[in-house]
Structure 1
Amino acid sequence: MKNWINRLLSGADSQADAPQGAAAAPDEPSADAAGDGAGIDALYYEWLAGPAIFEAPPETERQILDQISQLTQNPAFAAELVPRIPDLIPKLLRSLRDENVTTGELASQVAEDVVLVAEVLREANSAYYRPMTPIKTLDAAIMLLGQNGLRMLLARVAFRPVIRMHESGFARRAAPLVWNHSEKCAVAASLMAPGLTADIFESCLAGLMQDVGLIVAFRLADRVCPNGKVPASTAFGVELLARSRLLSGVIATHWDFPNNVAEAISQAGEPDGSPLAQALGQGDRIAKLRILIDAGLVGEDDALVNEALNGFQRRCLGKLSNLES
């Protein structure tokens, strides 16, 4: 993945093709996001862990957390614990930088991969875009998505094998659940971006990258914990999520992401973070709440939702219900 992200973003049109309504200024938050975030993270970890929990001794929890922190000092080794992206994706993303590239030229490149063709058509016909009539051709699908929509779709396709890898132990169980969050976080962060003067595509990219460290963390946990289990403590889970996000940031730096994207991942949720970090933090919170609502762990009108989200963010929460996991 080295260097291609910089080449891509250096020519990206940051605000073009924003989703309709996304540029509206967000309302003021109704509560302290940091306090709400800890409670949401605790519930999210419970959902992730599910039945695969055991009462781990403190030294086991400490060993896992220490190993995650140690990997932040060795990002090259951490990066080797996750797969790399398909070769076709960087080629397509570079083409999207070219203002003169035609829809037909893009379609011919997408057509090289039958899986990618199916992804583009599925996206164009999704409830998110709501076409008046079914989209049946690749050219029509690419025209509907627009360059920003296609960029974000390709980024999701690129990251899917990184997150949803075939693994053993708890990491294998968690991978599709983490990917569900990654996709929702990327969309939510991109919707939050315009109102915060953050770059739409960089917000999407940060949302997809944020969970890479968590997959690495679960691989480490599988080496320490028995039989595909993870510690039951939600306090441990909240700390694991926090340290994993920092690990994602250093892996992003190792992969030559722009500094502001890597920094945003590390600063997500901090009230004095950059606009990109704020977009990511809000997107992360919205995505987790959508997952918890869909799982029946939180109600649509639960106090946790009302206190964590303002009106604009609640509309985004509703938008995420149209996304297929």
Structure 2
Amino acid sequence: MMGYWWRFFARERASASPAARPTAAVRQPSVSKREESTNGTVTGDEIEERFCRFILNMPDSTSDAAQLAREQSILLRLKEQCDSGRFDVRTLPRMPTVLPQLMRAMKSDKLNGAQLADLIRRDPVLVGEVMRVTGSVAYRTAHPVGSLQHAVVLLGQLGLRHVVSVYVMKPILMASAGASGQIVGQRLWDHAERCAHAAVYLSKGQCDPFEAQLAGLVGYTGLGAVARLLDKELGQALPACSSAFINGCARIATQLSVQAGRHWELPAVVLDALIEHADGDAGRMALPMSRTLHVAQRLAMFQLLSEQGLLDGEAGYADERVTAFPEQLLARCQQDLRQNFAEP
């Protein structure tokens, strides 16, 4: 059943117009594709740095002393704006008020189609998405879908979870980088849907697949906020930046993702995973959700970067948290990502 859903959403992506996928048309960042290690592997830190450079469109540089000093000054100002909850979460895109209630309701087997429809009816945008999906070719039935309740029953809980998470979260992520960040927002979404897909794939026997999917979707939300803050701070993109600067931006982004999760009232297990991720020590991750999220993020980064020609798609992993998962499971998940997301 899960495979059917991802095939359905793959058809949705394939039918999107070129205008809806700006990343294919924009200039790629001039990030040098470094030689992989002599044993054909890349570390988790290398993957994350290349990923953050791609999202923020910041070329690599062996910055001189003056440039490094400027970078440190910028990072200090960003930390002053974000540390200890100083970041104004009201600047984040709005999470539909009904969504936390709906997420809790969908974990219960006691609610019927009519009760779920009553919750969904409180948000006209969500109503429109549910009706649109059930009116698509994939749901063509002998009788037209005549009501929201009928649509909810037709989707079932699994289908409804995907509609809610994907079609509600996408505009939030697309808007997270601000009005001038369309490219950043699209790239964040491209990673988020790959990460959510991998998180669901890896969640079996580890954690709830819907919560894993949600964690995958929101895990790097803070990077969009960092892009917006940099745009405001600098007024223009840096011509190039050091690895230390990229790593500093990534650390700030993980903290902002936690603040966003609290602001959006995400489920506690998802928020706890974001907090462990923000702590920065993958080796000490105790929660199954945290471990699943970490591996899903790395696999999704690997997939997206290889699609963009910024990473050798045949390279292996030198990341203890990733390689702690069964090798065959990682290989199957990576192959599944390629089949669902690699450009034809």
TM-score if structure 2 supplies the norm length? 0.67
2:314 paired with 1:301: yes
Match of 2:22 in 1: none
Sort the Cα spacing of 1:229 and 1:124 in 2 relative to 1 into closer, same or farther, 3 A: farther
**Match in the other structure for 1:9:** none
Aligned CA RMSD, in angstroms, stands at 4.1
Whether the 8 Å contact between 2:134 and 2:154 is mirrored in structure 1 is: no
Q: Partner residue of 1:45?
A: 52
Q: Is the 8 A contact 2:56 2:227 kept in 1?
A: no
Shift of 1:139: 8.4
Preserved contact between residue 163 and residue 211 of structure 1 (Cα < 8 Å): no
Q: In the aligned structure 2, how far is the partner of 1:187 from the partner of 1:89?
A: 20
Aligned match of 1:271 in 276, 283, 289?
283
1:285 pairs, out of 280, 283, 298, with: 298
**Aligned pair count?**
289
**Residues 61-95 of structure 1, C-alpha deviations (whole Å, 9 max, x = no match):** 22343344334444364312211123454564455
Instruction: Say which of 60, 64, 67 aligns to 1:57.
Output: 67
Instruction: Give per-residue Cα distances to partners, 1:281-300, cap 9 Å, x unaligned.
Output: 00100110110121122233
CA distance in 2, matches of 1:211, 1:77: 16
Name the CA distance, whole Å, in 2 between partners of 1:77 and 1:291. 29
The 1-side partners of 2:51 and 2:150 are apart by: 38
> Partner of 1:194: helix, strand, or coil?
coil
> Take 1:229 and 1:188, find their aligned partners in 2: how far apart are those partners?
32
Shift of 1:38: 0.4
Q: Which of the pair has more CA radius of gyration?
A: 2
Q: Which residue of 2 aligns with 1:27?
A: none
Please name the residue that 1:318 is paired with. 335
Unmatched 5+ stretches in structure 2: 5-41
Q: Does 1:117 align with 2:125?
A: no
Equivalences for residues 1-325 of structure 1 within 5 A: 36-50=43-57, 57-75=67-85, 77-87=87-97, 89-90=99-100, 92-93=102-103, 95-103=105-113, 113=125, 115-117=128-130, 120-121=133-134, 125=138, 146-165=156-175, 167-169=178-180, 171-195=181-205, 197-229=206-238, 231-268=240-277, 270-273=282-285, 274-304=287-317, 310-321=327-338, 322-323=340-341
Per-residue CA shift, 1:221-269, capped at 9, x if unaligned?
Answer: 1122242447532332233223311221233234443444223113236
Structure with higher RCO (Cα < 8 A, 6+ apart): 1
Task: Tell me by how many angstroms 1:99 deviates.
Answer: 2.8
Unmatched tracts of structure 1, length 5 or more: 1-16, 21-34, 126-130
* Aligned mates of 1:315, 1:73 — CA distance in 2: 39
1:323 Cα deviation (Å)? 4.4
Q: 1:219 to 1:122 in 2, by over 3 A?
A: farther
C-alpha contact (below 8 Å) 1:76/1:254 kept by paired residues:
no
In structure 2, give the amino acid aligned to 1:189: A
In the alignment, residue 196 of structure 2 is paired with which amino acid? A
User: 1:185, 1:283 within 8 Å by CA — same for their partners in 2?
Assistant: yes
- Whole-angstrom distance in 2 between the partners of 1:95 and 1:264: 21
Match of 1:32 in 2: none
State percent identity of aligned pairs: 25
Aligned AA (2:312): G
Tell me: CA distance 1:242–1:77, structure 2 relative to 1, closer, same or farther (3 Å): closer
- Checking the alignment, whether the CA contact within 8 Å between 1:76 and 1:251 is kept in structure 2 is no
CA, structure 1 residues 51+74, in 2 after alignment: closer, same or farther (shift >3 Å)?
closer
What secondary structure does 1:178 align onto? helix
- TM-score normalised by structure 1 residue count: 0.70
Work out whether residues 163 and 212 of structure 1, in 8 Å CA contact, stay in contact via their aligned partners in 2. Answer: yes
